[in-house]
Amino acid sequence: MIKVFLSLGLMIAGLYVKHGNSNENMQSAVAKKPGVVLEEFLFTSAPFPSCHAVTLVELENRELLATYFGGTYERHPDVEIRLQRKKSDGAWTAPISVADGIQPDGKRFPTWNPVIFQPKGGPLTLYYKVGPSPKEWWGEFKTSSDNGVSWSKAQRLPDSILGPIKNKPIQLSDGTILSGSSTEDHGWRAHIERSTDGGKNWSVIGPLNDPKKLGAIQPTLLTHADGSIQMLCRTPNNQDGHIAECWSRDKGLTWSEMKPSTLPNNNSGLDAVTLKDGRHVLVYNHSTRDQKGMGHKGRGVINVAVSKNGKDWEAALILDYIDQPNKQYSYPSLIQTSDGLVHIVYTWHRTRIKHVVIDPNKLETFPIKDGRWPYDKIPLVKSSEKQ
């Protein structure tokens, strides 16, 4: 791999890049992070001041689509679902709006947490939430038959179905789709939404936890060689302070008791993916909400960990770190693309979306013992804010 260092280009790029090729701003940092191939922003300026909750999909033509919500601020009625495309030439298109919360009666609500998903043999589907708050929102979706160039009219999901609440569904070898979802109106409760007909009809499995014992939302799902499925969840800051987990041995029909894992959680979103070689990659904030030196609500650090069995995790990367008020790296999403690379996207201070590409075969990993990050091997290094 040819490494390009553009120290002069960094200053020039900052003057004119609005979207597309802002990766030039960060290439000097790539060499310091084993396994990192690319770091870039999806945009550096946009017609909305705030953005959050990005997800990612690879299309059949190998282009990427990223979706997130953007507007004046979270919960504002003008917040809409935005979409960008990473074309074959490596450039991101400018953000466009693909969904809003305007209802048939004209009333407008904010949109939330889009999840873009390509089921096998079905249309590309964009799920998102609409409503005044997570306790009152409902699920809507749109479909596309032309790789996200055009979209159908919004359709509302059945009252008992919210759609994937933050992270991508998984599709099993028999075609069954399992979507991790959750509710917040009666405590934090995680559940599974299951479809055997390509997403036309859904059934609910759960809730899978007692929120009085261990609250859990925003599941992500991993698959194991023995057929088992592992769920990892975000937890509230007033309880255990660890990522929650449970397991299914029957294709998601029944689940073990939800219990704390060994990894910390700061009451913030996370995501994970099972690689083609069977390993699992997790992106999360390795901190608790009130941990000193970890920035805004523990979101001042964002980490990558790798595991062979979903239980014993090894530290791989610290993608970004800063300890400043109201600055954060949060709500990651990741996929493995057809070329074997892993693409990670996440919120950058609520003003941009960052994209990092890693080669999982070139990562250098070190055991995480008793939930403690090995800072002697992978230390905290303040990220540059001149990007």
Q: What is the pLDDT of residues 113-141, one digit of tens each?
A: 999 999 999 999 999 999 999 999 999 99
Strand partners, 183: 189
Q: Which amino acid is at 199?
A: G
Q: Which amino acid is at 277?
A: D
386: confidence class by pLDDT, cuts 50, 70, 90: low
15: confidence class by pLDDT, cuts 50, 70, 90: very low
Residue 10 predicted with pLDDT over 70:
no
| Mean pLDDT of the region 238-243 | 88
| Mean pLDDT of the region 271-294 | 97
| Mean pLDDT of the region 87-99 | 96
Task: Report the pLDDT value the prediction gives residue 387, as an integer from 0 to 100.
Answer: 53
Task: Report the pLDDT value the prediction gives residue 7, as an integer from 0 to 100.
Answer: 35
Task: Report the pLDDT value the prediction gives residue 30, as an integer from 0 to 100.
Answer: 54
> What secondary structure does DSSP assign to 178-223, as a single string?
EEEEEE-BTB-EEEEEEESSTTSS-EEE---S-TTT---EEEEEEE
Q: Average per-residue pLDDT in the chain?
A: 92
Which pTM was predicted?
0.92
| Mean pLDDT of the region 244-257 | 98
Task: Report the pLDDT value the prediction gives residue 11, as an integer from 0 to 100.
Answer: 33
Torsion sign, CA atoms 324, 111, 195, 121: negative
238: confidence class by pLDDT, cuts 50, 70, 90: confident
Task: Report the pLDDT value the prediction gives residue 384, as an integer from 0 to 100.
Answer: 82
Q: Measure the CA–CA gap between 89 and 93, rounded to whole angstroms.
A: 11
31: confidence class by pLDDT, cuts 50, 70, 90: low
Cis link prior to 47 (omega < 30° from 0)?
no
Task: Report the pLDDT value the prediction gives residue 2, as an integer from 0 to 100.
Answer: 36
Per the CB < 8 A criterion, the answer to whether 67 and 116 are in contact is yes
Phi, psi of 368 (to 5 degrees): -95, 110
Q: Which amino acid is at 221?
A: L
Domains and CATH numbers, the chain: 7-367 (2.120.10.10)
The 3-state DSSP class for residue 278 equals coil
Task: Report the pLDDT value the prediction gives residue 385, as an integer from 0 to 100.
Answer: 74
Residue 220 predicted with pLDDT over 80:
yes
For the record, the structure tokens of 185 come out as 């109106």
